[in-house]
């Protein structure tokens, strides 16, 4: 139970910290910003701007964050010509490495793809996000197909945990819809602040989780070597790799039945009932999203189609949560037959699914940046955590690709090329890392790759965001909230 409690508390505390820091940044920015235009809350006396109340911080904050009046504008996309050159070569190398590391860690690699497409290839930010989704989808889909042949490292189960996906995937998809709307409303500096705080916190937590797992693996390897010596076995023989049962967060080991099969036919690893439910959620919400694009923004039909996503996502997640609470279903990949789930834990984990989606939609990334660390906190083995996060991310990323295609948000030749690069890279990365884990006997390598990918994404995306923010400050551009009803991109 320690893993569930720690995971729930970590998810809730992190989101609370993000909100508090964002509020502080808003207050600080409002306090330090001088308003240049005359508006309803200020007046000029002897050529000097005076506020009705010199200490009215909240009025100044409102004026900083919200510019009154309509702000009709159209976004201009930048699509460079596709031709062989150093940009394509460098972009291919970075995309290959990003997809390899991203899929192994279960985060997709969007935090590396977007800066590469923007800074090196030359796309605008929104087109880079759309092509990044194509790359994430290709990499995630190939990883899922690869993982569908594999079994759980210690149990006779599929590597992908379908019950875990049922609990998180519907809320992840719903959260992405909310995050996309927030992406339009929030200013770039707010998104950058949220990104840096979230990614640095998540990567740090994952890094320490990797150290914890590494230490436990060391103890297991030493114990295995000692038993071999006592059994008069040749010490020069390699100690067989025994992954941590139940994941790194469990306080006490549980009795498990080790799987002797590492690979099986794909059909044997498919749980059709759970898969059908997940596909149904994907189809329904995708249909609502596509239908929404053919309505007038902020019309009654627009909001009705948005709100209809809520009962679909909540219905499936609630169904899974109730079954987990009553013991009718279990998160079997943990290696624990009976987990005493608490109501507040299931609520918090469902909220983490929404948060992962919101962050993914807000930043144009996959939700794996949040789901991966959360799964580890739950005590899920690293291999299962990575595979299940990638599985859930495939649904959300592919949904975004279809929407972007219908809206003509990316050039097809570029998208196809980089999607193929990411697809091939994901297979290579999964195969190589799997062999390394078996040879070294350390699944913690996957956690360190996860932490490294998130950290690099924080630096790259954060750097791009800060540079853009400085440029806007120099040009004295508006840096507050945007009106979603008058936005056109």
Contacts of 441 (CB under 8 A, 6+ apart): 217, 221, 239, 241, 242
Query: Would you state the pLDDT for residue 47?
Result: 46
**Whether pLDDT at 124 is above 90:** no
Task: Give CA–CA dist 421/116, Å, rounded.
Answer: 14
The angle subtended at Cα 114 by Cα 108 and Cα 119, nearest 5°, is 150
Name the residue with higher pLDDT: 105 or 414.
414
At 415, the pLDDT band (50, 70, 90 cuts) reads very high
Contacts of 98 (CB under 8 A, 6+ apart): 109, 112, 113, 116, 422, 425, 453
E strand or H helix at 369, and its extent?
A: helix 368-377
User: In the predicted model, what is the mean pLDDT of residues 377-382?
Assistant: 82
Query: Would you state the pLDDT for residue 199?
Result: 80
Percent of the chain with pLDDT over 90: 9
User: In the predicted model, what is the mean pLDDT of residues 100-123?
Assistant: 83
User: In the predicted model, what is the mean pLDDT of residues 376-401?
Assistant: 86
β-pair partners for 441: none
Name the residue with higher pLDDT: 354 or 241.
354
**Whether pLDDT at 303 is above 70:** yes
**Whether pLDDT at 257 is above 60:** no
At 284, the pLDDT band (50, 70, 90 cuts) reads very high
**Whether pLDDT at 418 is above 90:** yes
Instruction: Tell me how far CA of residue 253 lies from CA of 215, 241, 256, 334, in angstroms.
Output: 15, 16, 9, 11
Averaged pLDDT score across all residues of the chain: 76
Query: Would you state the pLDDT for residue 341?
Result: 80
Helix (H, G, I), strand (E, B) or coil at 481: strand
Query: Would you state the pLDDT for residue 308?
Result: 92
At 269, the pLDDT band (50, 70, 90 cuts) reads confident
Q: What is the pLDDT of residues 42-91, one digit of tens each?
A: 444 444 444 444 445 555 554 545 554 444 445 567 788 888 888 899 99
**Whether pLDDT at 35 is above 50:** no
As given in the structure block, the two tokens for residue 162 are 């379908």
Q: Residue 68, exposed/middle/buried by CB under 10 A (0-12, 13-18, 19+)?
A: exposed
Instruction: Tell me how far CA of residue 411 lies from CA of 76, 130, 404, 425, in angstroms.
Output: 14, 10, 10, 21
Contacts of 349 (CB under 8 A, 6+ apart): 7, 8, 11, 167, 168, 374, 378
Question: 358 and 372 in contact (C-beta within 8 Å)?
Answer: no
First to last CA, the chain: 47
């Amino acid at each position: 139970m320690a893993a569930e409690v720690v995971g729930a508390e970590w998810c809730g505390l992190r989101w609370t910290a993000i909100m508090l820091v964002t509020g502080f940044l808003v207050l600080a920015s409002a306090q330090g910003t001088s308003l240049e235009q005359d508006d309803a809350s200020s007046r000029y006396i002897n050529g000097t701007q005076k506020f009705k109340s010199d200490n009215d911080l909240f009025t100044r904050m409102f004026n900083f964050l919200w510019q009154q009046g309509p702000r009709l504008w159209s976004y201009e996309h930048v699509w460079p010509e596709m031709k062989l050159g150093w940009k394509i070569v460098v972009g291919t190398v970075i995309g290959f490495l990003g997809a390899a590391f991203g899929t192994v860690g279960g985060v997709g690699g969007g935090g590396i793809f977007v800066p590469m497409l923007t800074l090196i290839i030359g796309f605008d930010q929104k087109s880079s996000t759309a092509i990044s989704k194509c790359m994430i989808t290709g990499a995630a889909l190939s990883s899922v197909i690869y993982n569908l042949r594999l079994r759980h490292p210690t149990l006779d189960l599929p590597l992908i945990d379908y019950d875990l996906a049922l609990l998180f995937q519907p809320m992840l998809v719903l959260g992405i819809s909310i995050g996309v709307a927030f992406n339009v409303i929030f200013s770039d500096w707010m998104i950058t602040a949220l990104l840096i705080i979230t990614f640095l916190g998540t990567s740090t937590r994952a890094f320490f989780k990797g150290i914890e797992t590494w230490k436990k693996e060391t103890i297991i390897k030493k114990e295995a070597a000692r038993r071999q010596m006592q059994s008069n076995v040749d010490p020069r023989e390699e100690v067989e790799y025994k992954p941590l049962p139940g994941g790194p967060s469990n306080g006490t080991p549980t009795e498990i039945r080790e799987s002797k099969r590492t690979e099986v036919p794909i059909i044997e690893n498919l749980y059709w009932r759970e898969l059908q439910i997940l596909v149904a959620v994907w189809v329904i919400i995708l249909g609502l999203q596509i239908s929404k694009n053919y309505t007038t923004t902020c019309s009654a039909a627009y909001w009705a189609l948005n709100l209809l996503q809520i009962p679909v996502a909540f219905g499936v997640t609630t169904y899974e949560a109730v079954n987990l609470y009553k013991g009718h279903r279990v998160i079997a990949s943990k290696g624990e037959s009976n987990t005493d789930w608490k109501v507040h834990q299931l609520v918090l984990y469902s909220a983490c699914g929404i948060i992962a989606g919101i962050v993914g939609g807000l930043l144009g990334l996959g939700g794996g940046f949040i789901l991966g660390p959360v799964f580890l906190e739950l005590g899920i083995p690293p291999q299962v955590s990575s595979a299940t996060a990638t599985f859930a991310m495939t649904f959300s990323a592919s949904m975004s690709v279809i929407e972007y295609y219908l809206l003509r948000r990316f050039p097809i030749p570029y998208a196809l090329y980089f999607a193929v690069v990411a697809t091939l890279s994901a297979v290579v990365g999964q195969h190589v890392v799997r062999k390394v884990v078996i040879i070294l006997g350390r699944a913690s390598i996957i956690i360190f790759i996860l932490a490294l990918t998130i950290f690099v994404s924080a630096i790259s995306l954060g750097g791009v965001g800060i540079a853009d923010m400085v440029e806007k400050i120099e040009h004295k551009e508006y840096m507050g909230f945007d009106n979603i009803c008058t936005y056109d991109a």
